Structure 1
């Protein structure tokens, strides 16, 4: 049995805590909100983020980060991308021993254009962990919290660290594979949120399955183009953290990014959408980051560029679709060569 601190008590952090508790680990779930910690500890519920799940009594919620990480053997970071640096700075002061360090956050920082593992490496000293492990894959928290079958991937440049994470999480409901391609695993998990926004926009506009299928397929080509240019292994995008995560996020109302896109397609402005969602929609910040990266890497990403126009330049979604449909002729296999 391990002692694990999960930092971030949103839907995904809570769901992962349930998996760990099912595996008989000592689980400390950290939140900065006292009322949320009290609800978890007293009622075994987290109504705002995971209302249908009952939280095992073996999970203890903390608001004091130092207490939450005291003597733990593993730390799981599940906070929004924009909070990664701040939480790592707090963690640097709170941790007193070396841990297995896992993050399950899907995003890219639009200011530094860094992946989450790169931000962690910049903020935390080497003495506190061997190597960052990334946990990603097609995994709605709502289903994980109810112990419905789910399969994910863990990735690290140090395979022994990935295997430690695999051992922590794997059980009969939650199957975990390993993959050494950290860049591909992180980019697949982050970039699919952009395409999920697009899928929601398409449905919000009233377009059918043909349009959404094309969007997902061409979106995968964009993800693979950018990922390959940044050093990812192309085949990673044909796996769980690529096409697997893309399918689940683009086709389900569980997906915040899909729901946000759907409202945008219905004509609601971004500010109203984000206020209505009440939770972080990672795809919005990631769209801006990926758009900048596409320019930096000189990689063509027309869907991402179109969604950037909708989100940040007030373009009408239908106008963007019309522009995408009237682009110059292309040969499909030129793009598919990135993932074959």
Structure 2
């Protein structure tokens, strides 16, 4: 067994609180930090050997900079549970944390993990990934339980991108269901969406097989099929005729797929890669096309070989 006993969770939203409970059940001392909480960063991070970032993408760089000013345990391991891309640098969350803390191991935690289901003790699985195998294995022990199975993986960027890119596909899936297009259309969309995710992943150096695991295909299936997903809700409500502003104003929490979609279009244009589903989601979010026009555009693309 590990002798790590202190876990700091940065971000007290639904996912941060869920991860806190998982660690508490395993006997760890857990401290939660949020911008509006009573504890300071220094208090939460004191002697913490696992530091979990469960904040939204827009806050990652700012919080990482604040953490730099706090004395840390030399044994600390950073765990990032954020799904998104930095709009300024197009970096993943783990790349942001690693740039601030180059001498500390960083572990990515991602998978088909709808927090409301985990809070109800429904069975689930996730992946912890790092170039540092022992760090991933130590984090695995913190969160594993009979209800929450944790696998390790040596491809952190692939695991991270799986959880990030599927949010864009979840918006498209929500549109698909909102337009009542049926099971065939949804299956085609999700399958082609996975192909698009792999294509983008290769740009970052991710391994293809990672996208067929829990953090890729697994998370894609969960998010594209659940009304609990915020990104799915964005698409579903846009298909019902609401504006993006109306949808986001009434959403609890952040739909990271909206920002991710914009960042991906920057990357795709710079690298000249084809991401047709993401492109139509981007146009839909920008009000350039209606949900029906986006569908027509995808269906009217030139016919070609599947592979």
TM-score if structure 2 supplies the norm length? 0.96
The structure 1 residue matched to 2:259, chosen from 266, 285, 290, is 285
Correspondence for 2:64: 88
In structure 2, C-alpha distance between the alignment counterparts of 1:194 and 1:260, rounded to whole Å: 10
Report if aligned partners of 1:151, 1:176 keep a CA contact under 8 Å in 2: yes
The structure 1 residue matched to 2:160, chosen from 182, 186, 207, is 186
- Which digits, 9 at most, give the CA deviation of each residue in 1:18-47, with x for residues without a partner? 10000010010112224xxxxxxxxxxxxx
In structure 1, C-alpha distance between the alignment counterparts of 2:72 and 2:110, rounded to whole Å: 27
The structure 1 residue matched to 2:34, chosen from 31, 42, 50, is 31
Please state how far the C-alpha of 1:314 moved relative to its aligned partner.
3.3
Correspondence for 2:129: 155
Report if aligned partners of 1:159, 1:180 keep a CA contact under 8 Å in 2: yes
The structure 2 residue matched to 1:19, chosen from 10, 19, 22, is 22
In structure 2, C-alpha distance between the alignment counterparts of 1:101 and 1:229, rounded to whole Å: 25
Report if aligned partners of 1:136, 1:154 keep a CA contact under 8 Å in 2: yes
TM-score if structure 1 supplies the norm length? 0.87
Please state how far the C-alpha of 1:317 moved relative to its aligned partner.
1.1
Please state how far the C-alpha of 1:278 moved relative to its aligned partner.
3.5
Please state how far the C-alpha of 1:145 moved relative to its aligned partner.
1.3
Correspondence for 1:303: 277
- Which digits, 9 at most, give the CA deviation of each residue in 1:99-122, with x for residues without a partner? 111010111112211111111122
In structure 1, C-alpha distance between the alignment counterparts of 2:66 and 2:115, rounded to whole Å: 26
Correspondence for 1:106: 83
Unaligned runs of 5+ in 2: none
Q: 1:277 to 1:22 in 2, by over 3 A?
A: same
In structure 2, C-alpha distance between the alignment counterparts of 1:171 and 1:106, rounded to whole Å: 23
In structure 2, C-alpha distance between the alignment counterparts of 1:212 and 1:266, rounded to whole Å: 17
Please state how far the C-alpha of 1:136 moved relative to its aligned partner.
0.3
In structure 1, C-alpha distance between the alignment counterparts of 2:156 and 2:266, rounded to whole Å: 21
Please state how far the C-alpha of 1:315 moved relative to its aligned partner.
1.5
Please state how far the C-alpha of 1:256 moved relative to its aligned partner.
0.6
The structure 1 residue matched to 2:227, chosen from 235, 241, 253, is 253
Report if aligned partners of 2:48, 2:72 keep a CA contact under 8 Å in 1: no
Kindly tell me the number of residue pairs found equivalent between the two proteins.
Answer: 303
In structure 2, C-alpha distance between the alignment counterparts of 1:11 and 1:330, rounded to whole Å: 43
Please state how far the C-alpha of 1:80 moved relative to its aligned partner.
0.3
In structure 1, C-alpha distance between the alignment counterparts of 2:5 and 2:137, rounded to whole Å: 14
Please state how far the C-alpha of 1:313 moved relative to its aligned partner.
4.1
Structure 2 counterparts to residues 33-72 of structure 1, below 5 A:
33-34=36-37, 62-72=38-48
In structure 1, C-alpha distance between the alignment counterparts of 2:272 and 2:130, rounded to whole Å: 27
Please state how far the C-alpha of 1:125 moved relative to its aligned partner.
5.0
In structure 1, C-alpha distance between the alignment counterparts of 2:271 and 2:209, rounded to whole Å: 20
1:152 alignment partner, SS class:
strand
- Which digits, 9 at most, give the CA deviation of each residue in 1:280-299, with x for residues without a partner? 11000001111222223322
